[in-house]
């Protein structure tokens, strides 16, 4: 898999950035219907994605964008929330991190997909300016497919940015 030009840093496999976190939805995380607030779920996603980006870059990172965020099913108070994140794609100073969430009923073990999205992070140098990141090395067929999808999303975002008035 060809890496984008611009980085002289050695590449890192996706598995080195992988994160899995677990939360329990408490009443303060939910609305009056007992369903987790979307903003709380997004905050958990941002935290997991930041850890993945930091693991990959090994330098400070900041969230640049959240894209294609989808809420697929509600998460109830008392359920476990399993948040998984990994770097899918890198450019010169940015990284796309995929995040997907499942809820788990703690009494039955039943899981359901609830949320997924893509967050872009930028690595920072000591002066707070964008800094180069290592290329990501996708190894499995799934990682290679995610890499190519992320590359297309980036190209689309750049095209949309150029077309803005």
Q: What is the domain partition of the chain in residue ranges?
A: 12-163
Shortest CA distance to 58 belongs to which of 3, 124, 109? 124
Task: State pTM to two decimals.
Answer: 0.90
According to the model, what pLDDT value does residue 7 have? Answer: 56
Q: Name the architecture of domain 12-163.
A: Roll (3.10)
Instruction: Give tens-digit pLDDT for 66-85.
Output: 999 999 999 999 999 999 99
Instruction: Give tens-digit pLDDT for 89-103.
Output: 999 999 999 999 999
Instruction: Give tens-digit pLDDT for 46-60.
Output: 999 999 999 999 999
Q: Which residues contact 49 (CB under 8 A, 6 or more apart)?
A: 19, 63, 85, 97, 99, 119, 121
Q: Are 118 and 97 in contact (CB under 8 A)?
A: yes
């Amino acid at each position: 898999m060809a890496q984008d030009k611009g980085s002289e840093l050695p590449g890192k496999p996706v598995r080195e950035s992988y994160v899995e976190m677990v939360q329990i939805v408490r009443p303060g995380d939910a609305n009056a219907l007992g369903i987790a607030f979307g903003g709380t779920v997004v905050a958990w996603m941002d935290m997991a994605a930041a850890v993945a980006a930091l693991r990959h870059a090994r330098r400070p990172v900041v969230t640049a964008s959240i894209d294609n965020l989808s809420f697929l099913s509600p998460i109830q108070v008392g359920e476990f929330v399993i948040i998984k994140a990994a770097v899918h794609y890198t450019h010169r100073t940015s990284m796309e991190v995929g995040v997907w969430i499942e809820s788990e009923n703690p009494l039955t073990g039943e899981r359901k997909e609830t949320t997924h999205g893509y967050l872009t992070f930028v690595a920072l140098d000591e002066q707070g300016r964008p800094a180069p990141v290592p290329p990501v090395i996708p190894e499995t067929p799934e990682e290679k497919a995610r890499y190519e999808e992320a590359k297309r999303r980036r190209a689309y975002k750049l095209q949309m940015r150029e077309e803005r008035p």
